[in-house]
Amino acid sequence: MRGRGRPGREGPRGRKGGGAGRGALREGLTTALSVRHAVVHFPDGSSERCDLAPSLFREESEFTRPVAAGDRVRVETERGRSRIVEVLPRRGWLSRLRGGKEQVIVANVDQVLVVGSAAWPRFRPRLSDRLIVAAERARFEPVVVINKIDLVEDRAALEERLAVYRGMGYLALATSTTTGEGVDVLRERLRGRITAAAGPSGVGKSSLLNAIDPTLQVKTAPISDRWGKGVHTTVKSTFHPLAGGGWYVDTPGMRSFAVAGLDPADLAVFFRDLAPFVDACRFNSCTHDHEPECAVKTAVVQGKASLDRYRSYLRILRGDKGAPVDGDDEEDEDLDDEAEDSGAGDGGGEDDRASPSGAPSDPRP
């Protein structure tokens, strides 16, 4: 199947209606979760801590929890107590695999900032491309950000990379929270939207947020402080309201983004630059790897598609065939692995451990 997305998977729905004749239902946005509660923001600007109705919990659910950050929910209030009685269908979600179930990191955002760093830590194109695939699959628009641009003198390679993304129709920005470069454009792009920021720790996701909205004063940490001791940074998605409207959602580290249940023959669909060529491949089920008369490979050889992007494609494809990857926040700190540069097919690099899964042991079709 070449179709995009996941047929028949619209996310959870709670009990319809929430119970006859009881308190009026209000619709809101879930911005935080604890084990038994959720914080819901309502359109009038108010927010409340809500219980989760028992009817939301279903044994057979493919998700670890009935409610996720970013969920649109219906809330019933009775005798001063509010509880979520229904989760509205999700437009899309980012998730990781946990014990065979999907743990939703964030649902229903408008766009994903795929944040990398130009230097310290070095830019890692495989990782950015993996996040772009996760965003595309969730049907969230990717926005590519290469931060700390002030730390590089020779920008040519990075500009080339940005040009590839721009050629695909993405907004792709070089930013610096030190010099302010790119910050105004980013601020405009975030206004009024719900934006998830994704990328490894230390690339400047919190600093970017502070640059965009200095009133927020989100905590940042020098990278040396966390790499040494493997300090855990964000474990949950954190919603920050933006002054100009909208939300900035800081998400857990990149290894968390599993793309579950992905058919290898469908992966190219999520590479906007490679997708246009796939229909001309000889085999319908072509994975654009070893097959003869592959139009994608031909396009790469002829310079019509980026070799570097094709490398990212192969990396994800081949990682998919390996063991499933359970995202682990601690592993996110392991950013000094050089395996990434040793070629597309070594199968042993960091990105394989972080690969979108959908591997054989994934129980779902």
Smallest separation (angstroms) from ligand GDP to the CB of 64: 25
Q: What is the DSSP string of 229-295?
A: TT-----S-EEEE-TTSSEEEE---GGG-B-TT--GGGGGGG-TTTGGGGGGSSSTT--SSS-SS-H
Which partner in Zn ion, ligand GDP, none is near 223 (CB below 5 to 8 A by kind)? ligand GDP
Q: What is the distance between the alpha carbons of residues 190 and 177, in angstroms, rounded to a whole number?
A: 16
If one asks whether residue 21 binds ligand GDP (CB under 6 A), the answer comes out as no
**Which phi and psi angles does 250 have, rounded to 5°?**
-85, 130
Q: Are 103 and 96 in contact (CB under 8 A)?
A: yes
Which of these ranges, 93-101, 220-228, 255-263, 292-300, lies near ligand GDP under the rule CB under 6 A? 220-228
Smallest separation (angstroms) from ligand GDP to the CB of 227: 10
How many residues touch ligand GDP under the rule CB under 6 A: the total is 19
50 versus 294: smaller Cβ distance to Zn ion: 294
Smallest separation (angstroms) from Zn ion to the CB of 297: 6
Smallest separation (angstroms) from ligand GDP to the CB of 114: 12
If one asks whether residue 128 binds ligand GDP (CB under 6 A), the answer comes out as no
And the tokens for 355? 């690969």
Task: Identify how many contiguous H helices and E strands the chain contains and give both numbers.
Answer: 8, 13
Residues 6+ apart with CB under 8 A from 239: 31, 32, 69, 247, 248, 249
Which of these ranges, 28-36, 102-110, 122-130, 214-222, lies near ligand GDP under the rule CB under 6 A? 214-222
If one asks whether residue 147 binds ligand GDP (CB under 6 A), the answer comes out as yes
If one asks whether residue 237 binds ligand GDP (CB under 6 A), the answer comes out as no
**Which residue, 240, 247, 10, is CA-closest to 109?**
247
Contact string (CB under 6 A) for ligand GDP, positions 326-355, x = contact: ------------------------------
If one asks whether residue 66 binds ligand GDP (CB under 6 A), the answer comes out as no
Which partner in Zn ion, ligand GDP, none is near 201 (CB below 5 to 8 A by kind)? ligand GDP
The total of other beta-carbon atoms located within 10 Å of residue 12's CB is 21
Which partner in ligand GDP, Zn ion, none is near 148 (CB below 5 to 8 A by kind)? ligand GDP
143 versus 300: smaller Cβ distance to ligand GDP: 143
What is the length of the chain?
365
Q: What is the distance between the alpha carbons of residues 237 and 240, in angstroms, rounded to a whole number?
A: 10
Contact string (CB under 6 A) for ligand GDP, positions 150-189, x = contact: xx------------------------xxx-----------
Q: What is the distance between the alpha carbons of residues 88 and 66, in angstroms, rounded to a whole number?
A: 11
What is the contact surface with ligand GDP in residues (CB under 6 A)?
A: 147-148, 150-151, 176-178, 201-207, 220-223, 233
